[in-house]
């Protein structure tokens, strides 16, 4: 959800104002993605590197995450949607870690749509944690066995990764899982990333020929 800070600063507003707009846009996009028939919608809400931001900004982000998980997710449940969190919850304040765990536990069974929140998420930490678990168990793994040790266990690999905000890098996001994902980069800042912009990305994706290394 890149570009919230710049979007706000362009209007002379606080970065937190931008994050609130980003939160609102994320809620709108999740509903739109579900209406378009998408089954898994993942949002990169906080990276392990973002945790080094000034405490004031982190406190605002934690506040947004707290409020979202304490109230907004009930609307998702009502629509038979589930939530799932990927990341290292031990890096978060205890009450947030509990809200995220409960959010997952209280999700409807057999949901038709899942919103996956990457919070305190970093691919390097995820891969290292999986490797260390395997080493501890003295196991030699194949791909299926390794994938079970990742935070994303049980989730499909992403078909399409969209990065708004003008940067063309992956920033420690789903590095293993994205081996064959299609990538879409746009200069549009996240709060301006409308449903129509999302549809543009989907149309672009639909025109691609995915060969997965074959011919
Ligand atoms: C990136 O923009 C955005 C973030 C690091 C935070 C995104 C998180 C939220 C919007 C909180 C809402 C999440 C939930 C789960 C309710 P940036 O700050 O890096 O923007 P910039 O590059 O313009 O500075």
pLDDT in tens, 35-84: 999 999 999 999 999 999 999 999 999 999 999 999 999 999 999 999 99
- Position 8 scores a pLDDT of 98
| Helix/strand/coil for 138 | coil
1 CA → ligand 1 middle, Å: 6
- Position 171 scores a pLDDT of 98
pLDDT tens, position by position, 120-144: 999 999 999 999 999 999 999 999 9
Pocket test for ligand 1, best of 11, 16, 19 (most atoms within 8 A of CB): 19
- Position 210 scores a pLDDT of 93
Give, using CA atoms, the residue closest to atom 16 of ligand 1.
65
Give, using CA atoms, the residue closest to atom 24 of ligand 1.
5
Q: Following DSSP, what letter does each residue of 158-192 receive, concatenated?
A: PSEEEE-SS--S-TTSSTTTTTT-EEEE-SS-GGG
15 CA → ligand 1 middle, Å: 9
C-alpha angle 134-151-93 in degrees, rounded to nearest 5: 115
């Amino acid at each position: 959800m890149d570009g919230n800070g710049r979007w706000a600063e362009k209007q002379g507003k606080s970065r937190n104002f931008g994050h609130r707009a980003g939160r609102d846009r994320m809620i709108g996009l999740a509903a739109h993605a579900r209406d378009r028939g998408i089954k898994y919608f993942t949002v990169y809400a906080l990276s392990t590197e973002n945790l080094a931001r000034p405490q004031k900004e982190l406190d605002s982000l934690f506040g947004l995450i707290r409020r979202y998980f304490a109230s907004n997710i009930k609307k998702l449940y009502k629509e038979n949607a589930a939530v799932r969190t990927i990341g290292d919850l031990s890096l978060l304040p205890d009450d947030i870690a509990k809200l995220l765990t409960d959010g997952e536990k209280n999700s409807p069974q057999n949901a038709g749509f899942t919103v996956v929140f990457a919070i305190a998420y970093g691919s390097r930490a995820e891969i290292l944690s999986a490797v260390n678990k395997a080493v501890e168990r003295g196991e030699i793994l194949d791909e299926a066995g390794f994938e079970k040790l990742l935070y994303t266990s049980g989730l499909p690999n992403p078909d399409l990764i969209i990065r708004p905000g003008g940067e063309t890098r992956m920033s420690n996001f789903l590095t293993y899982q994205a081996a064959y994902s299609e990538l879409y980069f746009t200069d549009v800042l996240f709060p301006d990333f409308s449903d129509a912009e999302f549809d543009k990305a989907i149309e672009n994706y639909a025109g691609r020929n995915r060969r997965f290394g074959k011919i």
